[in-house]
Amino acid sequence: MRRLVDTLRDGGSLPRQWADAVAAVDRAAFIPDVCPGLDRAADEAEWLAAVYSDRPVVTQVDDGAEGGPGVPTSSSSQPSQMLEMLELLDVHEGQRVLEIGTATGYHAAWLCHRLGSDHVTSVEIDERLHRQAAGSLAAAGYAPRLVVGDGSRGWADGAPYDRIISTCTLREITPELLVQTRDGGRIVTPFGSSFHSYSYLTLDVHDGVGDGRFSGRPAFMWSRPQRGRGAELSDVYRGERGERGTTDLDPSELNAPDAMFAVSLRVRDAWPEIDWENDGSGEWTYWLLSDDRRSWARVEFVPGRAEFETEQSGPRRLWDEVAAAYRRWKSLGSPRRSRHRLRVTPEGQSVGLAPA
């Protein structure tokens, strides 16, 4: 356990106010002996190295179903990213916290150590994970209120909360979460869309309205009810011909983080993939695939060209949507992600720009 504390401290990732919790809660008590790619009985040294490192440990694939493709669906998140999010949460003694996504219970244990178990409520959608976390927390001496349900809707019976924190990525702040946050309270979550999901959202709630800002570059799993993507290229494109055209927009410009973020605000239910040629030519294909698997688009990138071939198929013209979103962002002066603000009301959410 000391190894993890030292690693976080040496990396400048251990906030003073959370140091006691990290030192007191043994991560090993919350990691199953057998995880995807790890088996404590077969190689305890490897298991311990993973547990006490500053990296995520996958604890479930395919939502726990047998015989699936092995897609990670639950984990003990990277400790430094958990602490980064807790700093944004700015929690204080005496405050009541709702956690969305109990998972292993490790993060809930930190909250309990800092605030006391009676100040912590944690919601988990997967009943098997809920049971495992409950056992681990009890064995470690913690007793938060644990609930099985859709955490993206909160848990009204325990409201209002001073702070709400999600350990899974959300694409929507639901009206329920807004209502369940005390006036002057705060919601912190990984946030995004299928196009781009690598941001923390810090949302301050006043008079029933949330005003939020974006930061960081987190990588968390999705809230199950708000998942997108979940498909391979072959699930969407099956060799059919599409509508062909050309564009003078270099698709490589879309790979810049601020550009991806800006496009993601307008194209929320489709995602990009890059498929490189293996012949050393430097050529690649920029794919766009819709969440509903009904539409696709591609742009053929060839180095040195000023115009690129496009092809689009399905009910939507995905390349046209992405190009329009990108050009709108450019017309606004290419504002950085940090200038964007999310406003959430009971009627929905919208994004604007803070003054330059």
Residue holding tokens 């794919």? 287
13, 77, 152, 193: which one is catalytic?
77
> Does 77 qualify as catalytic in the annotation?
yes
d(CA 4, CA 295): 45
146: Cβ contacts below 8 Å, ≥ 6 apart: 102, 108, 121, 122, 124, 130, 133, 134, 137
Strand partners, 348: 345
Find, among 173, 197, 172, 193, the residue nearest to 185 by Cα: 173
Cis peptide before 160, with omega less than 30 degrees from 0?
yes
SS3 per-residue string spanning 97-160: EEEECCCCCHHHHHHHHHHCHHHEEEEECCHHHHHHHHHHHHHCCCCCEEEECCHHHCCHHHCC
Pairing of strands 97-100, 161-166: parallel
Sheet holding 181-191, edge to edge: 145-148, 120-124, 97-100, 161-166, 181-191, 199-206, 209-215, 340-345, 348-353
Nearest to 103 by CA among 134, 138, 139, 69: 134
Active-site residues: which are they? 77
